[in-house]
Structure 1
Amino acid sequence: MTTISYPPKPSPGDRIAVISPGSGLPGLFPRPFELGLERLRKEYDLEPVEYPATRKMGSTPQERAEDIHAAFADPDIKAVMASIGGDDQITVLPFLDRELIRANAKPFFGMSDNTNLLAFLRNAGIVGYHGATVMTALGRPVAMSRLTADSLRAALFTSGEYELSPADRWNDIDRDWADPATFDAEPGTKPGAGWTWVNAERVVEGRSWGGCLEILGWLLMADREIPRDLTEFDGGVLLLETSEEMPSGTEIFRTLRNMGERGLLQRFSALLMGRPKTWSFEHPNSPEEAARYAEEQREAVLRAARIYAPHTAIVFDVDFGHTDPQLVIPYGGLVRVDGPARRITVAY
């Protein structure tokens, strides 16, 4: 059983590394990136430090690994945050020095493709933080979402319990970062309908694992950062969410089915399913199409759960992942799912 611990937290005035382990999109879209850096300085009183590949499109896996090593090894850096996700961070993993990173443990914040690094850190015994990349959460036009800003502040600077709240309003429709008008107004939002609970008769508390479902599928196929001893996950809390690629219900079911066939899905006592992203530039769904997609995803999850994990507590539409707001959830840290009280509490 891996011993997992929380790394020391930064304090206001400290330096925070900003890296691009997946993609150098800050080089293509500087506006949301620089807005995010400004908010780190002004709203969180942290000084961001960039690295050679942070704004470099087409950087090699070795270059990105060198940035990760430099960020963790520098004693003046007190936390590390990803600029954005990507789609090939899995190629960086073989170049990472696990002992160097373990010896210099720091809070890391990221999501999407950064599921790779979060899983790596958990296996190194380090709690990471799922959520809050610079370009998405901090680079939101006009202002950060209140739920995002509050949970990020608590995750950055505190170590106590924090109760998550369902969003009153939310958004999953993107706007063009290349259009300056995008940053003149806040994104439009839709009313939230709260969380949906299944098998909510008991209280579950355990360490979390998971992340972006598509990335987890790749890790499982490549057999990377999946513990050999699956009892590591017994009684834990599984975090799952899907990206703007919007995998079909069939694909979601098959991925979960394969996790069940591997003996993995049934290990967890609770599943938090992130609110699905139902719109993308490639699939600009109407409200009716978006609702159908969300229902298709929910049914796929329930179908797999009925077969492999019929007693697992499930909470749908939790506000983490690729929608806005974006709650920060400790990865490898403790999560308490209180079904009778309909409450989710994390330990930062």
Structure 2
Amino acid sequence: MTTPSYPPKPSPGDRVAVVSPSAGLPGLFPLPYELGLERLRDVFGLEPVEYPATRKIGSTPRERAEDLHAAFADPDIKAVIASIGGDDQITVLPLLDRALIRANPKPFFGWSDNTNLLAFLHRTGIVAYHGGSVMCELGRPGAMHPQTEESLRAALFTSGPYELRPAARWRDVDLDWADPATFGAEPATRPGTGWTWVGADRVVEGRGWGGCLEILGWLLMADREIPRDPAEFDGGVLFLETSEEMPSATEVFRTLRNMGERGLLRRFAALLMARPKTWSFERPHTPEESARHAAEQREAVLAAMRAYAPGTTIVFDVDFGHTDPQVVLPYGGFIRVDGPARRITVTY
């Protein structure tokens, strides 16, 4: 596999592609989508360019692949941003022209189901960015979270180190995107709890890889975009998040166990575990139920890591993935985990 390299960054005033490689939810929920486009223009100074399948509910994998090809091939497009995730992006991967995308490297921003495309770009030799969707982060009710905006701005426009910090306040309770009243006020948040460190007696610096745990499980089952030689991950930083489907602690453990049996877990020198999603419209947990879900997930992760990678430095409740605020992580880029100083620095 080619070692991933950082693609050129956009500048304010540039055109950026807005695509829906997973689900055309902008067509179902235009309010957060239009707000996200507005903030791309007004907050970041970028000109969004929409593609044919971006708002199309039920678009085919071929249509979504063609949008991606058009976005990467266009020399006037300087970055590619996902509108949102979904659950079937894995069906798009076999249709992608790896040579075309490799010849036209651009920063790609997305997370959740976009783990598929992030892993594809990693194997193609392009550093991509886990985070920063149009509908969720850019289209947040009230205003973009300042911490999200700061991280996304740094990832979009700069190429140096950026130090992450724990959120002072956070939320994972969702609001109704179909209700205009949702967007008139700031969402309620909870006090931050900081990060929890395990095995924090060393400094690790390596390339980041991972994403949404459920999607990685699917990629492993389909045997797609996973390096054949696990040694490629030696000394790297694994980062994992779980989705709004809120997998049980048993499912989390089993997925990690299977990664361990494949010889993956022991290769990484550090694991960043995202603050888990603990509320959904289908399972509207009380704060106590949310805390229990998070605690059970943490124990599942610890059990798997004790069994397969006991020497790994672990940091829990990092603010990436399905949480607000959300920081951007470089997929295939450098991440430094300084245990003694309790600091995490990424290179955008």
How does the TM-score come out when normalised to structure 1? 1.00
- 1:216 and 2:216 equivalent? yes
Query: Conserved in 2, the CA contact under 8 Å of 1:37 and 1:48?
Result: yes
Q: Determine the structure 1 residue equivalent to 2:73.
A: 73
Letter of the 2:249 counterpart = G
Q: Deviations over 1:42-64 (max 9, x none)?
A: 00000000000000010000000
Q: What displacement does 1:193 show?
A: 1.1
SS of 2:250's partner is: helix
Q: Determine the structure 2 residue equivalent to 1:56.
A: 56
> What runs of 5+ residues in structure 1 fail to find an aligned partner?
none
Matches within 5 A, 1:1-348: 1-348=1-348
CA distance in 1, matches of 2:181, 2:290: 25
> What runs of 5+ residues in structure 2 fail to find an aligned partner?
none
Q: What displacement does 1:112 show?
A: 0.2
SS of 1:257's partner is: helix
Q: What displacement does 1:180 show?
A: 1.1
CA distance in 2, matches of 1:70, 1:277: 34
CA distance in 2, matches of 1:208, 1:287: 32
Q: What displacement does 1:190 show?
A: 0.2
CA distance in 2, matches of 1:201, 1:145: 32
CA distance in 1, matches of 2:262, 2:65: 30
CA distance in 1, matches of 2:317, 2:84: 22
CA distance in 1, matches of 2:55, 2:89: 15
Query: Conserved in 2, the CA contact under 8 Å of 1:16 and 1:81?
Result: yes
CA distance in 2, matches of 1:346, 1:60: 35
Q: What displacement does 1:2 show?
A: 2.5
Letter of the 1:148 counterpart = T
Letter of the 1:208 counterpart = G
CA distance in 2, matches of 1:157, 1:180: 32
CA distance in 2, matches of 1:321, 1:282: 19
Q: Deviations over 1:282-335 (max 9, x none)?
A: 100011100000000000000000000100000000000001001001000000
Q: What displacement does 1:142 show?
A: 1.3
Letter of the 2:199 counterpart = N
RMSD over equivalenced CA pairs, Å:
0.5
Q: What displacement does 1:15 show?
A: 0.2
CA distance in 2, matches of 1:291, 1:158: 36
Q: What displacement does 1:108 show?
A: 0.2
Letter of the 2:220 counterpart = L
CA distance in 1, matches of 2:155, 2:6: 11
Corresponding pairs, count: 348
Query: Conserved in 2, the CA contact under 8 Å of 1:241 and 1:274?
Result: yes
CA distance in 2, matches of 1:34, 1:266: 43
SS of 1:59's partner is: coil
SS of 2:48's partner is: strand
SS of 2:106's partner is: coil
Q: What displacement does 1:343 show?
A: 0.2
CA distance in 2, matches of 1:214, 1:281: 19
Letter of the 1:65 counterpart = A
After the TM superposition, which segments of 4 or more aligned residues of structure 1 sit over 4 Å from their partners? none
SS of 1:228's partner is: coil
Q: What displacement does 1:265 show?
A: 1.0
Q: Deviations over 1:157-187 (max 9, x none)?
A: 0000000010000000000101111111111
CA distance in 2, matches of 1:279, 1:158: 34
Letter of the 2:190 counterpart = K
Identity of matched residues, %: 80
Query: Conserved in 2, the CA contact under 8 Å of 1:2 and 1:232?
Result: no
Letter of the 2:93 counterpart = L
Q: What displacement does 1:4 show?
A: 1.3
Q: Deviations over 1:81-140 (max 9, x none)?
A: 000000000000000000000000000000000000000000000000000100000000
